[in-house]
Amino acid sequence: QVQLVESGGGLVEAGGSLRLSCAASELTFSNYHMGWFRQAPGKEREFVAAITWVDDNTYYADSVEGRFTISRDDAKNMVYLQMHSLEPEDTAIYYCAARSPTATQWGDYWGQGTQVTVCS
């Protein structure tokens, strides 16, 4: 059974940094695009960042461009989200996701999420 397990969330002051990790199991990890999404209280889940398979192209939401960096280690079946200059608006549950290159939208696999809280 495929599992995506996030870690690294927590409470941080505005301007601080956090690094989220996502460990994948029972998945041919290198064959999937990997992404991070987040959901704030009362809001819909939104795209944060993604990294493609094979060529590691990266994509970011405008709201995090220049502050967040997504990376992957296919040998370890891990994907990371380095977050800098955090703002209270970044407070949300952050989810790791995997998407087959042939899929038209995200949803093949999701993690359970990790809470990030940024206090001002």
> Model confidence over 66-111: pLDDT tens digits?
999 999 999 999 999 999 999 999 999 999 999 999 999 998 999 9
Tokens of 63: 């709201």
Q: Report whether pLDDT(42) > 90.
A: yes
pLDDT category of residue 30 using cuts at 50, 70 and 90: confident
CA angle 72, 76, 78 (to 5 degrees): 40
Percent of the chain exceeding pLDDT 70 equals 100
